[in-house]
Amino acid sequence: MKKEKNKIWKILKDKKTHSIILIVFYCLLFLSLIFYIRIKHNLENSNNNKENIEKIESIFELQDYLENKNYSYEYTLKVDNDTYKYTGKRYLDKEEFVFQNGLISENYQRNKSDIYKKENDKFIKTELPYHYFNYFDSDLIGAILEKSTFDSKNNLYEISNKDLQDIIGNQKNNYEQEGINTIEIIYGDNNVVSIIIDLTNYVKTINETDDLVILELKYMNFQKIKDFSIN
CATH number of the domain bearing residue 96: 2.50.20
Q: What is the pLDDT of residues 126-183, one digit of tens each?
A: 999 999 899 999 889 989 988 888 888 888 899 998 888 888 876 555 555 568 899 9
Give yes or no for a contact between 117 and 126, defined as CB atoms under 8 angstroms apart. Answer: yes
Task: Kindly state whether residue 188 falls inside one of the protein's structural domains.
Answer: yes
Q: Nearest-5° angle of CA 98, CA 99, CA 100?
A: 120
Instruction: State yes or no: pLDDT of 206 exceeds 90.
Output: no
Instruction: State yes or no: pLDDT of 12 exceeds 90.
Output: no
Question: Which range marks the domain in which residue 124 is found?
Answer: 69-220
168 and 81 housed in the same domain:
yes
Give yes or no for a contact between 158 and 148, defined as CB atoms under 8 angstroms apart. Answer: yes
Instruction: State yes or no: pLDDT of 191 exceeds 90.
Output: no
99 and 147 housed in the same domain:
yes
Instruction: State yes or no: pLDDT of 105 exceeds 90.
Output: yes
Percent of the chain with pLDDT over 90: 37
184 and 99 housed in the same domain:
yes
Smallest Cα–Cα separation from 72: which of 214, 191, 217?
A: 217
41 and 104 housed in the same domain:
no
Question: What is the value of pTM for the model shown?
Answer: 0.74
Task: Kindly state whether residue 47 falls inside one of the protein's structural domains.
Answer: yes
Distance of CA 229 to the CA centre of its chain: 33
45 and 76 housed in the same domain:
no
95 and 43 housed in the same domain:
no
- pLDDT band at 39; cut points 50, 70, 90: low
Task: Kindly state whether residue 50 falls inside one of the protein's structural domains.
Answer: yes
Task: Kindly state whether residue 181 falls inside one of the protein's structural domains.
Answer: yes
Task: Kindly state whether residue 138 falls inside one of the protein's structural domains.
Answer: yes
86 and 141 housed in the same domain:
yes
83 and 119 housed in the same domain:
yes
- Residue 12 amino acid letter: L
How confident is the model at residue 49, as a pLDDT?
A: 45
Beta strand pairing status for 156-160 and 94-101? unpaired
Q: What is the pLDDT of residues 64-92, one digit of tens each?
A: 888 889 999 999 999 988 999 999 999 99
Q: What is the sign, positive or negative, of the torsion defined by CA atoms of 223, 225, 229, 231?
A: negative
Smallest Cα–Cα separation from 63: which of 195, 199, 160, 225?
A: 195
Structurally, the chain folds into a number of domains equal to 2
Distance of CA 197 to the CA centre of its chain: 9
Task: Kindly state whether residue 35 falls inside one of the protein's structural domains.
Answer: yes
Task: Kindly state whether residue 231 falls inside one of the protein's structural domains.
Answer: no
Task: Kindly state whether residue 147 falls inside one of the protein's structural domains.
Answer: yes
